[in-house]
Amino acid sequence: MSDSLDRTSAALKERYGQQGEAAGEQLRRWLSGAVPLSYSEILARHLETQPASGDLLPLIFDAFWQVLPFGTGGRRGRVGYGANRINPSMVAMTVQGHCRYLKARFPDRRDLKVVVANDVRVFSDIAGTYRFLGDKHPLLGLSSRGLATLAAEIYAGNGIVAYLPEPRDPMGTLSTPELSFLIATTGAIGGINVSASHNPPDDNGVKIYDEHGSQPVAPEDQLLLDSMAGITEIQSLPFEQALANGMVRPLAPGLHDRYVQGYVSLYGTFVPPRATPPIVYTPLCGCGLTTVGDVLKRLNFPVLMPPAEGPDGSFAVIPFRSPNPEVPQSTEPARAYADQNGSGIVLSSDPDADRVGLEARLSDGSWYHFDGNQIAAILCYALMLDPKGPRRSGLVIETLVTTKILGRIAAARGNSPVIDDLLVGFKYVADVLKRLGRDGRYRDVVARPEDLVLAAEESHGVIVLPTILDKDSTPACMYLAGLYQRLAAEGKNLLDYYTDILEEVGGYETVSRSIMMAGAAGMLRKDQIMASLRTNPPRVVGGLPVQRVSDYWDEAAFGPIVSESERLPRNVVQFATERFVVTVRPSGTEPKLKFYCQLLPSGQPPQARGRDLLAALRKEADATARSIYSALLEPIGVSLGEAGLLVPDLIELDRKREFETEIAPRLAARLKAGAFSGLGELLAWLRRESAALLPGADPLPALKAPLAFLCGQWARDLPASPILSELNQWATGVNKSAT
C-alpha cells in the first residue's frame, strides 16, 4: 500500500501542483488512521483499483484537496470518502467541535442540552461515483437519520443531553423550522440538522444552530469554526446506553402541537377555509407533512398529496431527483395530479421543509410557476395592503437580493419600517430580530421583534413569527391556500392577483440564475470571476451605463471584516443602472456562482397591463440576465450560445457546453441524414446521449427550452422535415405524450 500511496501522491502533485500535493498529504493522513471513522481500508481500495491511466485521480483529488468548507451555516456537499465529502468522519468531527464550542460558551451551565434533527436522505450513489467499489461498501445506505444518531451519541459522550425525535424510529425526521422552534422552546443551548436541504440525493450536510434557534453570524461563527480545528479524538456513548441513562431523550409530545397551534392562531380569520376547491400539497418526498401538512389539516383545508411523494430519501418520483421548489419541473407530477382532482394550486416544500413552492393553474389550463420574489410580494401585499386582508402594519425585513417591491408595499401601508440591505442568508434576518431593541445597530428602526409582519428572501423562504428564526414553508402555504380559495370563489387566480399588484405598486421583476461549477476547478473559476468583477467591473449592463459598483469586501464602505468567517458571505459585488440592480455572489453551501438581476420601475406608467405587463418585464429581465451570464463567463474563457444559456441552471457549466457543442451538433447531423424513424427513437437516442447531464434522472425535460430554440435554427436547413416539426411540438409542449 505504501508504494501505491507514494505513486498516487506523486501523480496528484504532477497533475494538480500545490493543491495536488496538499491532497496527497491529506490522503496520507486519512490512511494512517489519525482521522476517526475514516474508512482507511476503503481508501486503500481507491489506490489499489486505480489503473495506470489515472482514471480515479480526479476523484481522489477532489475528495482531499480541501476540508469541506463550513459555509453559510454548516457543511454541505457530496457524500463520499475523504475530507471534502460528507461522511461519518466529517460529521463526527463537526459535532465534536460543536461540543467543545458549547462548553466554552456556557462554562457555568449544568443543564447542557441540544436538539438533533434530520431529514429523509439515504445515500444510494445514484451517480455511480463508487461503482468501482462494488455493490457493498460502508457508505451505501448512509442516512441522515444514521448521522443524526451518531451526533446524538457524541453529544451524550461529551455530557450534553441530546433531544432526538422518536429515538428508536429509524425513519424519524424533524424539519428545519420546527428545530428552530424547539431549541428556543425547550431552553436548549443549540442544535444541529443533518440535511442537504434541496440538494440532489447524493448530497448531505450538517447545519448548526445557536440557543435562539438561528445560525450564528460573525464573529460568533468564527469561534465555532476555531473549535472544530484540530479535532483528532471523538468522545461518544453507545446509543442504547445513552438512551438508558437519559443522555439521549425523546421530545415531549406536546411540543409539536405548540408549533402547529402557533400558526393556527396566527392565521386566525385570514380567509375561512372552505371544503372546496382542494389544495394539492407535496413535500417533494421530504418531511413537510409534519409541518405544512399538519397545519393545513388543523385549519381544515381539504389537502391532497400526490401519490408516492411522501418521505423518500432517494426522491425517486421527483423530476431530475431535484426536490427544490425553485425548479419548476420538480412539481410536474403534482400538477398532473392537481388536474385530475380539480385543484388549481400546487404548494410544495423542500426536504427539510424550509422553502416554499407555488404553482397556479390558469384559465387556459396551463400552469404558472412563481419564483421566490413573486411569492414574497403576494404574501406581503395580502398581509399589508389587500382591502380584504388584515391590513397589518409593522416590520418588513429582506436581504439585498430580495425584490424591492416589498419596500414599496410597506411604504404604501405606512408605519411599517423596512430593513432591506442584509447579506444573503436567513441567519442575517434572525440576527436583526435578535438585536432589535437590544443594541445600537438598528437604533433608527422603530420596531420590536414582535412587530414583524414578514421577512423574506428570494430563495423561496419567509419568516412571520420572531419565535422561529429560520425560514419556514408552513406560514406561506397556509396563507397561499386561503388566498387561493378566496380568489377561486371570485373567478380569479393567483397570477391575476400578482399582476394586479404590479399594476398598483410598480413594475418590479427579478431573475435569479446560477452557474454550477463543481470541484476544485469550479472553485478556481468562481474566484476568477469574482476577481475580475472587482478589477474590471462592467461599464454597461443591458445597454445602460453602470452608475454604481458596490464591493462588500470594501471595508471603508461596509465596515471591517470582523472574522475570516465573514469573508465568504461578504464576497458580493453589486452594480446598478437606472433600471437594474445586479448582485453576484458565490454560494456558501453549493458549488455555484449566483447572480440576481433586479428590474426596477421605469418611473413612467406602464403601457401594458395584466399578463402582458408581466411578460414584458420578464422578457427585459431575462434578456439582461442572459447577457450577464455570458459576461461572467468571459474571465474564465468560456462561452455559451443561446441554446446553452437556455439549459436549466441545475446542470453544471461543462455539461451545458457538452450539450451545446457536442450533443446538439450530433443530433442536427442525424436529423439531416434522416437517421430517425420517428420521434420516439429520436428521444430515446437523446436520453442516452444526455444521461451524464443529470446522473440518475431523466435529462429530457431539462432540454425542452434549448431544443425549442434549436428547432427554429435548424428549420432553415431542414424546412420540410416532419420529425423536426414533431420535435419542436414536443419541446414547446404541444405534444406532451411523446416521452
What is the pLDDT confidence band of residue 738, given thresholds at 50, 70 and 90? very low
Q: What is the pLDDT of residue 694?
A: 87
pTM as predicted: 0.93
Q: What is the pLDDT of residues 479-508, one digit of tens each?
A: 999 999 999 999 999 999 999 999 999 999
Q: Does position 441 have pLDDT exceeding 90, yes or no?
A: no
The answer to whether the CB of 456 falls within 8 A of the CB of 419 is no
| Overall average pLDDT of the 556-583 stretch | 94
Which residues face 122 on adjacent strands? Answer: 143
**Which domain CATH number covers 366?**
3.40.120.10
Count up the domains in the chain and report the number: 4
| Pair (313, 354) in one structural domain | yes
What is the pLDDT confidence band of residue 259, given thresholds at 50, 70 and 90? very high
Question: What is the C-alpha separation between 598 and 403, in angstroms, rounded?
Answer: 7
Prior bond of 277 cis (ω within 30°)? yes
Higher-confidence residue: 421 or 73?
421
Q: What is the pLDDT of residue 438?
A: 75
Closest CA to 343 of 436, 480, 244: 480
Q: Does position 193 have pLDDT exceeding 60, yes or no?
A: yes
- Cα–Cα distances (Å) from 24 to 31, 37, 180, 230, in that order, read 10, 19, 40, 18
Q: What is the pLDDT of residues 509-555, one digit of tens each?
A: 999 999 999 888 888 899 999 999 999 998 988 788 999 999 999 99
Go through 277-291 and write b for each residue having 16 or more CB atoms within 10 A of its CB, e for each that does not: bbbbbbbbbbbbbbb
Q: What is the pLDDT of residue 739?
A: 30
The answer to whether the CB of 348 falls within 8 A of the CB of 281 is yes
| Overall average pLDDT of the 545-574 stretch | 94
Angle of helix 610-633 versus helix 519-535 axis, rounded to 10: 100
User: Residue 141 falls within a domain, yes or no?
Assistant: yes
| Pair (461, 576) in one structural domain | no
The 3-state secondary structure of 544-601, one letter per residue: EECCEEEECCCHHHHCCCCCHHHCCCCCCEEEECCCEEEEEEECCCCCEEEEEEEECC
User: Residue 36 falls within a domain, yes or no?
Assistant: no
| Pair (631, 557) in one structural domain | yes
User: Residue 433 falls within a domain, yes or no?
Assistant: yes
User: Residue 89 falls within a domain, yes or no?
Assistant: yes
| Pair (541, 471) in one structural domain | no
The 3-state secondary structure of 609-627, one letter per residue: CHHHHHHHHHHHHHHHHHH
Q: Of 584, 610, 639, which residue is a domain's last?
A: 639
Range of the domain at 663: 645-731
Task: Write out the three cell numbers for 461.
Answer: 423562504
Q: Of 591, 609, 639, which residue is a domain's last?
A: 639
Which of 106-115, 561-570, 730-739 has the weakest average pLDDT?
730-739
Q: What is the pLDDT of residue 736?
A: 35
Q: What is the pLDDT of residues 583-597, one digit of tens each?
A: 999 986 667 899 999
| Pair (164, 265) in one structural domain | no
Higher-confidence residue: 717 or 544?
544
User: Residue 59 falls within a domain, yes or no?
Assistant: no
| Pair (293, 207) in one structural domain | no
Q: Does position 734 have pLDDT exceeding 60, yes or no?
A: no
Burial class for 716, CB neighbours closer than 10 Å (0-12, 13-18, 19+) = exposed
| Pair (98, 184) in one structural domain | yes
HSE-CB for 12 with a 13 A CA cutoff: 30
Q: What percent of the chain has pLDDT over 90?
A: 87
The answer to whether the CB of 200 falls within 8 A of the CB of 124 is no
Q: What is the pLDDT of residue 2?
A: 81
User: Alpha-carbon torsion 76, 77, 78, 84, what sign?
Assistant: negative
Q: Does position 343 have pLDDT exceeding 50, yes or no?
A: yes
Which residues face 117 on adjacent strands? Answer: 193
What is the pLDDT confidence band of residue 607, given thresholds at 50, 70 and 90? confident
| Pair (190, 239) in one structural domain | yes
Cell numbers 384559465 correspond to what residue? 363
Q: What is the pLDDT of residue 459?
A: 92
What is the average pLDDT score of the chain? 93
Q: What is the pLDDT of residues 268-300, one digit of tens each?
A: 999 999 999 999 999 999 999 999 999 999 999
Amino acid at position 540, single letter: V
| Pair (582, 448) in one structural domain | no
| Pair (515, 662) in one structural domain | no
Amino acid at position 534, single letter: R
Q: What is the pLDDT of residue 72?
A: 67
**Which domain CATH number covers 525?**
3.30.310.50
What is the pLDDT confidence band of residue 133, given thresholds at 50, 70 and 90? very high
User: Residue 50 falls within a domain, yes or no?
Assistant: no
| Pair (366, 238) in one structural domain | no
Which range of 62-76, 250-264, 587-601 scores highest in mean pLDDT? It is 250-264
Q: What is the pLDDT of residue 74?
A: 86
The answer to whether the CB of 468 falls within 8 A of the CB of 185 is no
Question: What is the C-alpha separation between 74 and 193, in angstroms, rounded?
Answer: 9
Q: What is the pLDDT of residue 52?
A: 44
User: Residue 337 falls within a domain, yes or no?
Assistant: yes
Q: Of 613, 639, 665, which residue is a domain's last?
A: 639
The answer to whether the CB of 735 falls within 8 A of the CB of 166 is no
What is the pLDDT confidence band of residue 201, given thresholds at 50, 70 and 90? very high
| Overall average pLDDT of the 363-375 stretch | 97
Q: Does position 50 have pLDDT exceeding 70, yes or no?
A: no
| Pair (226, 263) in one structural domain | no
User: Residue 23 falls within a domain, yes or no?
Assistant: no
Burial class for 43, CB neighbours closer than 10 Å (0-12, 13-18, 19+) = buried
Angle of helix 722-731 versus helix 664-672 axis, rounded to 10: 150
